[in-house]
Structure 1
Amino acid sequence: MATVLDDYLDSLDEPARAAFEHVRRLATALAPDAEQGVSYGMAALRYRGKPLLGFRAAKEHLSIFPFSPAAIDAVRERLTGYELSKGTVRFTAATPLPDDVVLDIVRHRMGEITAP
């Protein structure tokens, strides 16, 4: 059964779709029970009912949204050369995010969600 995230990824060109599929595979390897849906109006993975990682493609870049400035700050020094904002990491299909950085962002966000 297709999900909102599946439908969104299917609407993208192949390089963008492949880049986001890779990020999704990494995230769901850490959070296999993450649900695919919508958070803050964008296709996203949700973990324990809370937004884990959002996906959005723009004309010039791809973005992931960990819904946490602290998750981005935790890996900021390893993202030299990527465009960052308080809640967004921008990249391209030609310059994908390093796997270890994606995994650390997801781990950090999962920790925030499960913290008491």
Structure 2
Amino acid sequence: MWQCPKCGREFKNQDQNHFCIETPDTIGAYIEAQAKEVQPLLHQVRDTLRTALPDAEERISWRMPTYWRGHNIIHFAAFKKHIGVYPGENAMIYFAGRLTEYKTSKGAIQFPYDRQLPLDLIAEIAKWCYESLC
């Protein structure tokens, strides 16, 4: 077990990514709570999603930045080595052919920090999620 030196919580994984305080209640607060070197990337994702989904509401859901319009549209989050984007299973199926160079799972895409973010693709996925679920 690993114990966070800041908050004292114990975790199974060494250097487990977590919030030492309560979950931030805004996307801005979420981004500010992340490592300084990751913040510019998170701002890029946020700006991309704001542009792609101008009518969506920003909120925190499942402890992640979320875009919502009557339902959750898409989430994103910072991790140790990547930004996770969570468009859901149907989007993963629809965009599978364009996601082959990224690590994916049933409803998630991992964009590693050491590669340029595919912001146009993220915007396209977000718009598809909004349009297909409305």
TM-score interval for Structure 1 and Structure 2 normalised by the shorter chain: 0.7 to 0.9
Mark the runs of 5 or more structure 1 residues left unpaired by the alignment.
none
Tell me the equivalent position of 2:100. 80
CA distance in 2, matches of 1:40, 1:22: 21
Tell me the equivalent position of 1:55. 76
Q: Is the 8 A contact 1:43 1:56 kept in 2?
A: yes
Structure 1 residue 112 corresponds to structure 2 residue 132: yes
Q: Is the 8 A contact 1:52 1:110 kept in 2?
A: yes
TM-score by length of 2: 0.72
Structure number with bigger Rg: 2
Q: Percent same amino acid at aligned positions?
A: 26
Where do 1:19-98 residues align within 5 Å?
19-46=41-68, 48-66=69-87, 68-98=88-118
Q: Is the 8 A contact 1:3 1:36 kept in 2?
A: no
CA distance in 1, matches of 2:55, 2:30: 20
**Deviation for aligned residue 1:6:** 0.7
CA distance in 1, matches of 2:118, 2:64: 23
CA distance in 2, matches of 1:84, 1:37: 24
Q: Give the length in aligned residue pairs.
A: 111
TM-score by length of 1: 0.82
Regions of 4+ moved over 4 Å: none
- Describe the superposition over 1:83-107 as per-residue Cα deviations: whole angstroms up to 9, x where unpaired: 1001111012221331221122111
Q: Which has the higher helix share?
A: 1
**Deviation for aligned residue 1:24:** 1.5
**Deviation for aligned residue 1:16:** 1.9
